[in-house]
Amino acid sequence: MGIWSTIFSIIKRERYDLFRGLTIVTFVFLTFLSIYLDFAYPAGSQWVLVNSRTGRFFATGLINLAPELAGIVVGVFSIDFLNNYRQDQLLKKQLILQMGSRHNDVTDTAIAILKANNWLDDGTLTYAYLRGANLIKANLRSVALRNAVLSGADLSEANLLEADLSRTQLNTATLIKANLRFAKLVDANLIAADLTEANLRGANLLGANLFNATLCNTNLDGANFDHVNLARTIFTGATLSGVNLGKINLSGADLREADLSSTNLRGASLLGANLKGANLKGTNLSNADLRYAILDETDLRAASLRGTNLFEAVYDRSTQWPDKFDPLSAGAILQEE
Protein backbone atom coordinates (compact mmCIF):
# COMPACT_ATOMS: atom_id res chain seq x y z
CA MET A 1 0.00 0.00 0.00
CA GLY A 2 2.84 2.39 0.84
CA ILE A 3 4.47 1.83 -2.57
CA TRP A 4 1.32 2.56 -4.57
CA SER A 5 0.46 5.63 -2.52
CA THR A 6 3.95 6.98 -3.17
CA ILE A 7 3.71 6.36 -6.91
CA PHE A 8 0.20 7.89 -7.04
CA SER A 9 1.39 11.00 -5.19
CA ILE A 10 4.23 11.38 -7.69
CA ILE A 11 1.83 11.12 -10.66
CA LYS A 12 -0.46 13.73 -9.07
CA ARG A 13 2.55 15.93 -8.47
CA GLU A 14 3.65 15.67 -12.10
CA ARG A 15 0.20 16.79 -13.29
CA TYR A 16 0.20 19.64 -10.82
CA ASP A 17 3.70 20.65 -11.94
CA LEU A 18 2.44 20.98 -15.53
CA PHE A 19 -0.48 23.22 -14.55
CA ARG A 20 1.72 25.23 -12.21
CA GLY A 21 4.35 25.70 -14.91
CA LEU A 22 1.80 26.92 -17.45
CA THR A 23 0.34 29.39 -14.93
CA ILE A 24 3.75 30.85 -14.10
CA VAL A 25 4.72 31.13 -17.78
CA THR A 26 1.44 32.95 -18.54
CA PHE A 27 1.95 35.54 -15.79
CA VAL A 28 5.59 36.07 -16.72
CA PHE A 29 4.64 36.57 -20.38
CA LEU A 30 1.92 39.10 -19.54
CA THR A 31 4.27 41.02 -17.24
CA PHE A 32 7.00 41.35 -19.86
CA LEU A 33 4.44 42.17 -22.55
CA SER A 34 3.05 45.05 -20.47
CA ILE A 35 6.56 46.40 -19.84
CA TYR A 36 7.42 46.12 -23.53
CA LEU A 37 4.26 47.97 -24.61
CA ASP A 38 4.86 50.72 -22.06
CA PHE A 39 8.41 51.46 -23.17
CA ALA A 40 8.46 50.52 -26.87
CA TYR A 41 5.47 52.58 -28.06
CA PRO A 42 4.18 56.11 -27.43
CA ALA A 43 1.32 56.43 -24.95
CA GLY A 44 -2.06 55.75 -26.52
CA SER A 45 -0.65 53.93 -29.57
CA GLN A 46 -0.16 50.54 -27.94
CA TRP A 47 -2.42 47.67 -28.90
CA VAL A 48 -2.78 43.92 -28.28
CA LEU A 49 -3.86 41.28 -30.81
CA VAL A 50 -5.58 43.83 -33.15
CA ASN A 51 -4.93 47.48 -33.88
CA SER A 52 -8.37 48.67 -32.85
CA ARG A 53 -10.16 50.33 -29.98
CA THR A 54 -10.52 46.94 -28.29
CA GLY A 55 -6.82 46.16 -28.80
CA ARG A 56 -5.78 49.53 -27.37
CA PHE A 57 -8.13 48.99 -24.41
CA PHE A 58 -6.42 45.68 -23.56
CA ALA A 59 -2.98 47.24 -23.95
CA THR A 60 -3.87 50.09 -21.57
CA GLY A 61 -5.24 47.61 -19.07
CA LEU A 62 -2.06 45.52 -19.22
CA ILE A 63 0.18 48.55 -18.77
CA ASN A 64 -1.84 49.76 -15.77
CA LEU A 65 -1.71 46.29 -14.25
CA ALA A 66 2.06 45.84 -14.77
CA PRO A 67 3.03 46.45 -11.09
CA GLU A 68 0.30 44.10 -9.90
CA LEU A 69 1.37 41.45 -12.42
CA ALA A 70 4.97 41.72 -11.26
CA GLY A 71 3.84 41.27 -7.66
CA ILE A 72 1.76 38.25 -8.62
CA VAL A 73 4.76 36.67 -10.39
CA VAL A 74 6.98 37.16 -7.33
CA GLY A 75 4.26 35.78 -5.05
CA VAL A 76 3.59 32.79 -7.29
CA PHE A 77 7.29 31.96 -7.49
CA SER A 78 7.68 32.21 -3.70
CA ILE A 79 4.63 30.10 -2.93
CA ASP A 80 5.63 27.63 -5.62
CA PHE A 81 9.14 27.24 -4.19
CA LEU A 82 7.92 26.74 -0.61
CA ASN A 83 5.22 24.30 -1.68
CA ASN A 84 7.63 22.32 -3.81
CA TYR A 85 10.18 22.19 -0.97
CA ARG A 86 7.51 20.95 1.46
CA GLN A 87 6.36 18.26 -0.97
CA ASP A 88 9.94 17.12 -1.54
CA GLN A 89 10.63 16.84 2.19
CA LEU A 90 7.48 14.78 2.76
CA LEU A 91 8.32 12.49 -0.16
CA LYS A 92 11.92 12.04 1.01
CA LYS A 93 10.74 11.11 4.49
CA GLN A 94 8.30 8.55 3.10
CA LEU A 95 10.93 7.03 0.78
CA ILE A 96 13.49 6.70 3.58
CA LEU A 97 10.89 4.86 5.68
CA GLN A 98 10.23 2.50 2.76
CA MET A 99 13.96 2.02 2.14
CA GLY A 100 14.24 0.70 5.69
CA SER A 101 11.70 -2.04 4.99
CA ARG A 102 12.45 -5.73 5.44
CA HIS A 103 10.75 -6.44 2.09
CA ASN A 104 13.10 -6.26 -0.88
CA ASP A 105 10.46 -5.12 -3.41
CA VAL A 106 9.58 -2.15 -1.19
CA THR A 107 13.21 -1.07 -0.77
CA ASP A 108 13.93 -1.48 -4.50
CA THR A 109 11.00 0.80 -5.40
CA ALA A 110 12.12 3.43 -2.88
CA ILE A 111 15.68 3.37 -4.21
CA ALA A 112 14.48 3.70 -7.80
CA ILE A 113 12.42 6.81 -6.95
CA LEU A 114 15.28 8.33 -4.92
CA LYS A 115 17.63 7.76 -7.84
CA ALA A 116 15.18 9.27 -10.34
CA ASN A 117 15.11 12.44 -8.23
CA ASN A 118 18.93 12.48 -7.78
CA TRP A 119 18.49 12.06 -4.01
CA LEU A 120 20.85 9.11 -3.53
CA ASP A 121 24.03 11.17 -3.55
CA ASP A 122 22.93 14.68 -2.52
CA GLY A 123 22.95 14.09 1.25
CA THR A 124 19.26 13.21 1.56
CA LEU A 125 20.16 9.88 3.20
CA THR A 126 22.54 11.39 5.76
CA TYR A 127 21.51 10.11 9.22
CA ALA A 128 18.91 7.83 7.60
CA TYR A 129 17.60 5.13 9.95
CA LEU A 130 17.69 1.85 8.00
CA ARG A 131 18.25 -0.68 10.77
CA GLY A 132 17.56 -4.24 9.58
CA ALA A 133 16.68 -3.11 6.04
CA ASN A 134 16.53 -5.67 3.23
CA LEU A 135 18.85 -4.18 0.62
CA ILE A 136 19.92 -7.39 -1.11
CA LYS A 137 21.36 -6.64 -4.58
CA ALA A 138 20.42 -2.97 -4.19
CA ASN A 139 22.04 -0.59 -6.68
CA LEU A 140 23.49 2.07 -4.39
CA ARG A 141 26.41 3.20 -6.51
CA SER A 142 27.88 6.51 -5.26
CA VAL A 143 25.19 6.72 -2.55
CA ALA A 144 25.81 9.17 0.30
CA LEU A 145 24.85 7.40 3.54
CA ARG A 146 27.02 9.34 5.95
CA ASN A 147 26.15 8.82 9.63
CA ALA A 148 23.31 6.49 8.66
CA VAL A 149 22.16 3.54 10.78
CA LEU A 150 22.36 0.24 8.89
CA SER A 151 22.90 -2.06 11.87
CA GLY A 152 21.79 -5.59 11.03
CA ALA A 153 20.87 -4.61 7.46
CA ASP A 154 21.28 -7.14 4.64
CA LEU A 155 23.36 -5.66 1.83
CA SER A 156 24.40 -8.96 0.25
CA GLU A 157 25.55 -8.46 -3.37
CA ALA A 158 24.66 -4.77 -3.15
CA ASN A 159 26.47 -2.37 -5.49
CA LEU A 160 28.15 0.19 -3.24
CA LEU A 161 30.84 1.27 -5.68
CA GLU A 162 32.30 4.63 -4.57
CA ALA A 163 29.63 4.91 -1.85
CA ASP A 164 30.16 7.28 1.07
CA LEU A 165 29.53 5.31 4.27
CA SER A 166 31.61 7.49 6.58
CA ARG A 167 30.67 7.17 10.27
CA THR A 168 27.85 4.80 9.29
CA GLN A 169 26.63 2.15 11.74
CA LEU A 170 27.09 -1.19 9.95
CA ASN A 171 27.58 -3.40 12.98
CA THR A 172 26.26 -6.95 12.46
CA ALA A 173 25.32 -5.99 8.88
CA THR A 174 25.54 -8.61 6.12
CA LEU A 175 27.65 -7.49 3.15
CA ILE A 176 28.39 -10.86 1.56
CA LYS A 177 29.71 -10.40 -2.01
CA ALA A 178 28.95 -6.67 -1.83
CA ASN A 179 30.82 -4.38 -4.22
CA LEU A 180 32.55 -1.78 -2.04
CA ARG A 181 35.34 -0.83 -4.42
CA PHE A 182 36.67 2.65 -3.65
CA ALA A 183 33.96 3.10 -1.02
CA LYS A 184 34.55 5.58 1.80
CA LEU A 185 34.16 3.87 5.18
CA VAL A 186 35.98 6.44 7.32
CA ASP A 187 35.24 5.85 11.04
CA ALA A 188 32.53 3.34 10.10
CA ASN A 189 31.29 0.86 12.71
CA LEU A 190 31.66 -2.62 11.19
CA ILE A 191 31.78 -4.62 14.42
CA ALA A 192 30.76 -8.26 13.72
CA ALA A 193 29.79 -7.36 10.13
CA ASP A 194 29.96 -10.15 7.53
CA LEU A 195 32.00 -9.09 4.49
CA THR A 196 32.63 -12.58 3.12
CA GLU A 197 33.78 -12.44 -0.54
CA ALA A 198 33.12 -8.71 -0.65
CA ASN A 199 35.20 -6.49 -2.93
CA LEU A 200 36.89 -3.72 -0.92
CA ARG A 201 39.59 -2.95 -3.44
CA GLY A 202 40.79 0.63 -2.94
CA ALA A 203 38.29 1.27 -0.12
CA ASN A 204 39.09 3.90 2.50
CA LEU A 205 38.69 2.35 5.97
CA LEU A 206 40.50 5.06 7.91
CA GLY A 207 39.60 4.74 11.61
CA ALA A 208 36.96 2.05 10.98
CA ASN A 209 36.15 -0.54 13.65
CA LEU A 210 36.15 -4.11 12.27
CA PHE A 211 36.36 -5.90 15.61
CA ASN A 212 35.18 -9.51 15.19
CA ALA A 213 34.14 -8.84 11.57
CA THR A 214 34.26 -11.59 8.93
CA LEU A 215 36.28 -10.95 5.75
CA CYS A 216 36.72 -14.48 4.40
CA ASN A 217 38.02 -14.49 0.80
CA THR A 218 37.56 -10.72 0.69
CA ASN A 219 39.52 -8.61 -1.81
CA LEU A 220 41.27 -5.83 0.10
CA ASP A 221 43.92 -4.84 -2.44
CA GLY A 222 44.94 -1.21 -2.06
CA ALA A 223 42.52 -0.56 0.83
CA ASN A 224 43.44 2.06 3.43
CA PHE A 225 43.61 0.56 6.93
CA ASP A 226 45.15 3.47 8.83
CA HIS A 227 44.09 3.44 12.51
CA VAL A 228 41.67 0.52 11.93
CA ASN A 229 40.75 -1.91 14.70
CA LEU A 230 41.08 -5.46 13.31
CA ALA A 231 41.19 -7.35 16.58
CA ARG A 232 39.61 -10.84 16.34
CA THR A 233 38.70 -10.16 12.72
CA ILE A 234 38.35 -13.23 10.47
CA PHE A 235 40.46 -12.90 7.31
CA THR A 236 40.45 -16.53 6.17
CA GLY A 237 41.53 -16.62 2.51
CA ALA A 238 41.42 -12.83 2.20
CA THR A 239 43.66 -10.91 -0.21
CA LEU A 240 45.71 -8.26 1.58
CA SER A 241 48.71 -8.20 -0.72
CA GLY A 242 50.59 -4.90 -0.60
CA VAL A 243 48.25 -3.36 1.99
CA ASN A 244 49.64 -1.02 4.65
CA LEU A 245 48.81 -2.51 8.07
CA GLY A 246 51.60 -0.86 10.00
CA LYS A 247 50.90 -0.56 13.76
CA ILE A 248 47.40 -2.03 13.28
CA ASN A 249 45.73 -4.11 16.00
CA LEU A 250 45.26 -7.65 14.64
CA SER A 251 45.27 -9.40 18.02
CA GLY A 252 43.49 -12.73 17.85
CA ALA A 253 42.72 -12.27 14.15
CA ASP A 254 42.06 -15.34 11.99
CA LEU A 255 44.35 -14.99 8.96
CA ARG A 256 44.42 -18.61 7.81
CA GLU A 257 45.30 -18.96 4.12
CA ALA A 258 45.30 -15.17 3.76
CA ASP A 259 47.53 -13.51 1.16
CA LEU A 260 49.69 -11.01 3.03
CA SER A 261 52.60 -11.04 0.61
CA SER A 262 54.56 -7.77 0.49
CA THR A 263 52.20 -6.31 3.10
CA ASN A 264 53.47 -3.74 5.60
CA LEU A 265 52.90 -5.09 9.12
CA ARG A 266 55.65 -3.08 10.76
CA GLY A 267 54.85 -2.60 14.45
CA ALA A 268 51.49 -4.38 14.10
CA SER A 269 49.99 -6.42 16.94
CA LEU A 270 49.38 -10.03 15.89
CA LEU A 271 49.19 -11.33 19.43
CA GLY A 272 47.61 -14.80 19.32
CA ALA A 273 46.72 -14.42 15.64
CA ASN A 274 46.13 -17.55 13.55
CA LEU A 275 48.38 -17.36 10.46
CA LYS A 276 48.21 -21.02 9.48
CA GLY A 277 48.92 -21.42 5.79
CA ALA A 278 49.13 -17.65 5.26
CA ASN A 279 51.36 -16.15 2.59
CA LEU A 280 53.72 -13.68 4.28
CA LYS A 281 56.38 -13.80 1.61
CA GLY A 282 58.29 -10.53 1.48
CA THR A 283 56.14 -9.04 4.25
CA ASN A 284 57.54 -6.36 6.56
CA LEU A 285 57.09 -7.67 10.12
CA SER A 286 59.71 -5.47 11.75
CA ASN A 287 58.93 -4.80 15.42
CA ALA A 288 55.61 -6.66 15.05
CA ASP A 289 54.15 -8.57 18.00
CA LEU A 290 53.59 -12.24 17.07
CA ARG A 291 53.58 -13.67 20.57
CA TYR A 292 51.53 -16.88 20.80
CA ALA A 293 50.70 -16.65 17.09
CA ILE A 294 50.04 -19.82 15.06
CA LEU A 295 52.50 -20.09 12.17
CA ASP A 296 51.91 -23.64 10.95
CA GLU A 297 52.51 -24.00 7.18
CA THR A 298 53.10 -20.23 6.97
CA ASP A 299 55.32 -18.87 4.18
CA LEU A 300 57.68 -16.28 5.67
CA ARG A 301 60.35 -16.39 2.99
CA ALA A 302 62.08 -13.04 2.42
CA ALA A 303 60.01 -11.51 5.22
CA SER A 304 61.60 -8.82 7.40
CA LEU A 305 61.67 -10.05 11.01
CA ARG A 306 63.97 -7.47 12.57
CA GLY A 307 62.81 -6.80 16.12
CA THR A 308 59.80 -9.11 15.72
CA ASN A 309 58.54 -10.65 18.98
CA LEU A 310 57.99 -14.37 18.37
CA PHE A 311 57.78 -15.46 22.02
CA GLU A 312 55.96 -18.81 22.16
CA ALA A 313 54.70 -18.44 18.61
CA VAL A 314 53.95 -21.96 17.32
CA TYR A 315 55.24 -23.30 13.99
CA ASP A 316 55.72 -26.69 12.32
CA ARG A 317 58.09 -28.33 9.87
CA SER A 318 56.14 -26.89 6.94
CA THR A 319 56.72 -23.30 8.04
CA GLN A 320 59.11 -21.50 5.69
CA TRP A 321 61.43 -18.91 7.26
CA PRO A 322 63.76 -16.30 5.76
CA ASP A 323 67.24 -17.58 4.91
CA LYS A 324 69.53 -18.05 7.93
CA PHE A 325 66.75 -17.13 10.40
CA ASP A 326 66.60 -19.26 13.56
CA PRO A 327 63.01 -19.26 14.95
CA LEU A 328 63.97 -21.21 18.08
CA SER A 329 66.48 -18.60 19.18
CA ALA A 330 63.79 -15.95 18.56
CA GLY A 331 61.54 -17.67 21.12
CA ALA A 332 59.23 -19.58 18.76
CA ILE A 333 58.13 -23.16 19.56
CA LEU A 334 58.43 -26.00 17.05
CA GLN A 335 55.30 -28.11 17.18
CA GLU A 336 56.06 -31.71 16.33
CA GLU A 337 53.36 -33.97 14.94
Q: Alpha-carbon distance 260 to 299, whole Å?
A: 10
Q: In this structure, what are the phi and psi dihedrals at residue 144, rounded to the nearest 5 degrees? A: -105, 100
Residue 77: pLDDT band by 50, 70, 90 thresholds? low
Instruction: State the angle between helix axes of 66-99 and 104-116 in degrees (0 to 180), rounded to the nearest 10.
Output: 150
Output the pLDDT for position 173. Answer: 98
* pLDDT, tens only, 19-39: 666 766 776 676 666 666 666
Q: Where are the domains of the chain?
A: 2-94
Mean pLDDT of 237-264: 93
Q: Is-contact 296 280, C-beta < 8 A?
A: no
HSE, CB side, 13 Å, CA atoms: give it for residue 67. 1
pTM across the whole model: 0.76
Q: Is-contact 190 171, C-beta < 8 A?
A: yes
For residue 67, pLDDT over 70 is answered with: no
What's the whole-number average pLDDT of the chain?
A: 87
Q: Alpha-carbon distance 106 to 326, whole Å?
A: 61
- Residue 209's DSSP bridge partners are 189, 229
Neighbours of 326 (CB within 10 A): 8
Output the pLDDT for position 285. Answer: 97
Q: What is the 3-state secondary structure (H, E, C) of the chain?
A: CHHHHHHHHHHHHHHHHHHHHHHHHHHHHHHHHHHHHHHHCCCCCCCCCCCCHHHHHHHHHHHHCHHHHHHHHHHHHHHHHHHHHHHHHHHHHHHHHHHCCCCHHHHHHHHHHHHHCCCCCCCCCCCCECCCCECCCCECCCCECCCCECCCCECCCCECCCCECCCCECCCCECCCCECCCCECCCCECCCCECCCCECCCCECCCCECCCCECCCCECCCCECCCCECCCCECCCCECCCCECCCCECCCCECCCCECCCCECCCCECCCCECCCCECCCCECCCCECCCCECCCCECCCCECCCCECCCCEECCCCECCCCCCCCCCCCEECCC
- Top pLDDT among 45 and 283 is at 283
Q: Alpha-carbon distance 152 to 173, whole Å?
A: 4
* pLDDT, tens only, 135-157: 999 999 999 999 999 999 999 99
Q: Is the dihedral of CA 115, 117, 122, 126 positive or negative?
A: negative
